[in-house]
Amino acid sequence: MTADSELEPNDDEIEDRQLVLGDLLNHVLDKGVVISGDVMISIADIDLLSVELKLVLASVQTALEHNQSTPDADLSLLRSRSGGR
């Protein structure tokens, strides 16, 4: 291992943090008590009202796979390694 590589962040630790954070976001967005009011999420300035949230996440993943550069949308936390690298 070179001195340069020793200075680099630990890839496993970074990936672990991203996985844990992505898992948390998936749960906050997709689990929990469902109410009779609105569930509102906006992505890329498009309002999505009372939608099936899994569909939203799938759409985000599809968008990321088709367009790696998504203006005004830092959704890297939702990327899997396979989809984002």
Partner 1 sequence: MPTYLFCVLAPAGAEAVPAGLTGIGGTPIRALTAPAPASLEAWVSTITEDALRVSGRDLTAQALLHNEVVNAALALGRTPAPARYGSRFPDDAACVADLTQRAGELRAILDHVAGAVEIPTLLVPRELAAPANERPKPGDPAAGRRYLESLRTRALDADRRRSAAEREASRLRASVGDLVRDEARSFTAAGVMSIAHLVPMAAMGRYRDAVATFVPAEDFRVVAGEPRGPYSFSSPLRSDRSGHDSGSPSHNG
16 to each of 10, 29, 36, 45, 83, how far by Cα in Å? 10, 20, 35, 30, 16
Minimal distance in Å, beta carbon 4 to partner 1?
A: 25
- Which residues of the shown chain bind partner 1 in the complex (CB under 8 A)? 16, 19-20, 22-45, 47, 53-55, 57-58, 61, 65, 70, 72-75, 77-83
Is the CB of 8 or the CB of 21 nearer to partner 1?
21
Minimal distance in Å, beta carbon 3 to partner 1?
A: 27
Per DSSP, the three-state class of 51 is coil
Question: What span, in angstroms and rounded, lies between the C-alpha atoms of 85 and 3?
Answer: 25
